[in-house]
Amino acid sequence: MQLPRGTRDILPEEIAKWHFLEREFATVCENYQYQEIRTPIFEHTELFERGVGDSTDIVSKEMYTFQDKGGRSLTLRPEGTASVVRAFVEHKLYGDVSQPIKMYYNEPMFRYERPQGGRQRQFTQMGIEAIGSDDASIDVEVISLAMEFITRIGLQNIKLVINSLGDKESRLKHREALVSHFEPHIDEFCSECQVRLHKNPLRILDCKKDHDNPLIQTAPSILDYLNEASTSYFNKVQTYLHALEIPFEIDPTMVRGLDYYNHTTFEIMSEEEGFGAKTTLCGGGRYHGLVKEFGGPDTPGIGFGLGVERILLALEKANIQTPAKKPLEVYVITAQPEAELKAVTLVNKLRKNGISAEKDYLKRKLKAQLKDANRKNAVYTIILGEEELQTGKYQLKNMETGEQESIFEDNLDIVIQKKLIDTKEEK
């Protein structure tokens, strides 16, 4: 039996890295006053068709859609925004007095894509959504949160790219310009782009088949079609980014693969060498129509999604060490079978006092237990022999220095805790 293509097991030896990222992300989000939200893994298919857009690759080609036994069409979520906005509307969070509602998530997503390094069919996104404000300072808050997380975990070789897709009026003008630009030559494009021309011409710009067609390079730039209000909004975002000293580039060709965006969009790429083709770590932007589309009041939102597997890949390429699992503090060794009961109670006592403790479970001989303690990098060992059982006094051995100290069982946890703190401080 093997894994389905495009999925991965995260083995115990890798989990410390995941826990590290989860902790850091939650810490940054909480500093920015975002609260976690958890939504179901599957939703009604219509949610993504209407939210993400049925002419996007995600909806038209990549969704895991199935019928349940009641004949409903359900889909494993391909992204997080549609579900969070649905929850915002369904639970009437727009009625809450503390607006905007700021939420974060950390969840698996599913897209039927061709697997390669950094691209999976089940992947994990850490993301945030701030719904209820159209102030440019929140755009910059969202971008700055993503940048802070990425730099806090140690990644340095990164690039922030921003763009504006403008408001409805600007987009309509740009759309007309795109149709006029592509229409005379549409025969040169794939059959899907021919359909996109009148349905959603912006999608031609991120077509995977036609991306080398020179007409894509010469296509009208959205920035030339932004009306005054959209330009002023975009300028404000840039002013705030400068004020926070967050370097960025503007890329007017960045259209993002989801239909709900308007105004600010952004991506953060890794510039790490040897990273491969899929370098976008994080993508996000504003969506002003989504809450209304799902039956709520006209409410603006903004957020991002960050690919955790890609972050891990970038950390690896940059050779960044993440904290390891909790070390083994005490290994209790038995020198004779009669000591087994004492070993069971002793590790239990140490663990209850917050000290990580381990013993042998394979009836190993003394020497093999010592070897096991070394293999597991135990900080201290205690050997339980005849004398220890009789006196209740144990030799605590520091495995690094070889120093030994004899301690009564009653004082053991306090002494060990103190020693562990002292060595940590020394280091």
Q: Which residues bind ligand HAM (CB under 6 A)?
A: 79-81, 111, 113, 118-120, 123, 125, 127, 129, 257-258, 280-285, 303-305, 307, 309-310
Q: State the nearest-atom distance from the C-beta of 110 to ligand HAM, in Å.
A: 9
| DSSP code, position 14 | G
Q: State the nearest-atom distance from the C-beta of 305 to ligand HAM, in Å.
A: 3
- C-alpha distance from residue 183 to each of 25, 176, 188, 265 (Å): 46, 10, 10, 27
Give residue number: closest CB to ligand HAM.
Answer: 307
Token pair belonging to 332: 């209790």
- C-alpha distance from residue 342 to each of 42, 83, 231, 380, 389 (Å): 50, 53, 74, 17, 8
For ligand HAM, the closer CB: 53 or 284: 284
For ligand HAM, the closer CB: 182 or 304: 304
Q: State the nearest-atom distance from the C-beta of 273 to ligand HAM, in Å.
A: 18
- Range list of H helices, 65-219: 81-90, 136-152, 168-182, 191-199, 214-217
For ligand HAM, the closer CB: 8 or 349: 8
Token pair belonging to 145: 């949160």
For ligand HAM, the closer CB: 116 or 353: 116
Name 125's bridge partners.
107, 307
Contacts of 198 (CB under 8 A, 6+ apart): 179
Phi (first) and psi of residue 328, to 5 degrees:
-80, 120
Name the residue with tokens 């011409």. Answer: 201
For ligand HAM, the closer CB: 210 or 259: 259
Q: How far is CA 49 from the centre of its chain?
A: 24
Q: In this structure, how many other beta carbons lie within 10 angstroms of the beta carbon of residue 374? A: 12
| DSSP code, position 72 | -
Q: State the nearest-atom distance from the C-beta of 119 to ligand HAM, in Å.
A: 4
Q: State the nearest-atom distance from the C-beta of 314 to ligand HAM, in Å.
A: 10
For ligand HAM, the closer CB: 79 or 388: 79
Rg (C-alpha) for the chain, rounded Å, is 28
Contacts of 242 (CB under 8 A, 6+ apart): none
Phi (first) and psi of residue 282, to 5 degrees:
-150, 140
Q: State the nearest-atom distance from the C-beta of 208 to ligand HAM, in Å.
A: 13
- C-alpha distance from residue 341 to each of 346, 349, 359, 362, 378 (Å): 9, 12, 11, 14, 21
For ligand HAM, the closer CB: 113 or 167: 113
Q: State the nearest-atom distance from the C-beta of 125 to ligand HAM, in Å.
A: 5
For ligand HAM, the closer CB: 145 or 282: 282
- Rounded to whole angstroms, the Cα distance separating 346 from 88 reads 51
On whether the CB atoms of residues 354 and 417 are closer than 8 A, the answer is: yes
For ligand HAM, the closer CB: 320 or 415: 320
Phi (first) and psi of residue 84, to 5 degrees:
-65, -40
Q: State the nearest-atom distance from the C-beta of 310 to ligand HAM, in Å.
A: 4
Q: State the nearest-atom distance from the C-beta of 42 to ligand HAM, in Å.
A: 16
* Half-sphere exposure for 129 (CA within 13 Å, toward CB): 26
Q: State the nearest-atom distance from the C-beta of 361 to ligand HAM, in Å.
A: 38
For ligand HAM, the closer CB: 97 or 277: 277
| DSSP code, position 108 | E
